[in-house]
Amino acid sequence: MTFNPDSKLDSGKVSKRGRNAAIGGGSAIVVVGLVILSQLVGFDLTGLAGLTGSDQSASQPDQSLECSTGADANSNVDCLIVGAANSLDVYWVGESPQLQVDYRTPSVILFDGSTSTGCGQASSATGPFYCPPDKTIYIDTSFFDELRTRFGASGGTLSEMYVVAHEWGHHIQQLSGILSNTDHSLTGPASDSVRTELQADCLAGAWVGAASTIEDENGVTFLEPVTDAQIADALNAASVIGDDRIQQQSGGGVDPESWTHGSSESRQKWFQAGLSLGTGACDTFAVSAAQL
């Protein structure tokens, strides 16, 4: 998706945290990360399992980004996140009353390398995630490169914004009580964990479906209409981070009982359900296992 160059962005919706020089042993972090990556990647709120509880080193202070227009979002990946956050925020202000959600804007923090969070220490190997205790989305934008190089995704800006929209979906789930009312200790193709993740995919799709109508404060739409090629990129991203695909890629057998995010097919299906039908189609907890 491409931003309307004249749309006006509020860069205060996203902050950026510099590399934490206090953290040594980068190679050790990477090694651990690669071992756990297959369980964690996939825009994860439960990537929290991979975070350490200690919070011993202070991160650099957060900086605001200088992204004031859609043109900035089209030319810079940090500003692309700012643009997505602006559009998502307006979308969810409008959509939340139907879902009986008392909406508040989440924090979004971009980081590089490693950072302290309300859920423990995160590294770039953790993958993007939502931290419920501090209601913050954490994204290391190097993950977008990894989506292409490691997972073989076709890339594109919509697949990057899908990551942001999926994490925003987890925030909506937190506000609505879904995260606290479901059991994330279990895995498997019809587990609450998978239903939660597929719902976040559906909520992301719902935003994409509406995105070309969402306007800035001056009535200028943030995003131009989405193209079929861009939808294909987002579906491709959803498919490469399906649990079965990740298990196949890592050379192991496919073990549905260990799934936390859902199959490639399910992730694409629910993204598409949201895209075509909106948030009303996103009750992944109401359907049978066969319908997931």
Site of interaction with Zn ion (CB under 5 A) = 43, 197, 200
Q: How far is the CB of 211 from Zn ion (least distance, A)?
A: 19
* Residue 278: CB minimum distance to Zn ion, A: 20
Is the Cβ of residue 43 or residue 259 nearer to Zn ion in the bound state?
Answer: 43
The residue among 160 and 197 lying less far from Zn ion, judged by its C-beta, is 197
Minimal distance, residue 169 CB to Zn ion, in Å = 8
Pairwise CA distance, residues 91 & 108, whole Å: 16
- H or E, element range at 117: strand 114-117
- As separate numbers, helices (DSSP H) first and strands (DSSP E) second, the chain gives 10, 7
Question: β-strand 15-17 against 62-64: which pairing, if any?
Answer: antiparallel
In the complex with Zn ion, the residue whose CB is nearer, 165 or 200, is 200
Give CA–CA dist 182/192, Å, rounded. 6
Which lies closer to Zn ion via its Cβ, residue 60 or residue 107?
107
- Minimum distance, C-beta of residue 196 to Zn ion, in the bound complex (Å): 7
Q: Walk across the sheet containing 107-111 and list its strands.
A: 62-64, 15-17, 107-111, 136-139, 129-131
Q: Least separation, in Å, of the C-beta of 165 and Zn ion?
A: 11
Select from 116, 123, 165 the least CA-distant residue to 142.
123
Q: Of 197 and 216, which has the nearer Cβ to Zn ion?
A: 197
- State the minimum distance, in angstroms, from the CB of residue 173 to Zn ion: 9
Q: What is the smallest separation between the CB atom of 224 and Zn ion, expressed in angstroms?
A: 27
Question: What DSSP string describes 234-252?
Answer: HHHHHHHTSHHHHHHHTTS
Estimate to the nearest angstrom the gap between the alpha carbon of 205 and the chain centroid.
12
Shortest Å distance, C-beta 101 to Zn ion = 18
**Cβ nearer to Zn ion, comparing 14 with 198:** 198
Question: d(Cα 78, Cα 72) in Å, to the nearest integer?
Answer: 9
- Nearer to Zn ion by C-beta: 134 or 217? 134
Task: Output the residue with the shortest Cβ distance to Zn ion.
Answer: 43
* Residue tagged 């949201």 (tokens): 274
From residue 185, how far is each of 44, 46, 135, 193, 258 by CA, in Å? 14, 10, 20, 8, 11
What's the rounded Cα separation, in Å, for the pair 206 and 98? 14
Q: Which CB atom, from 16 or from 170, has the smaller least distance to Zn ion? A: 170
What does the block give as tokens for 126?
Answer: 């953790």
**Rounded to an integer, what distance in angstroms lies between the CA atom of residue 54 and that of residue 108?**
21
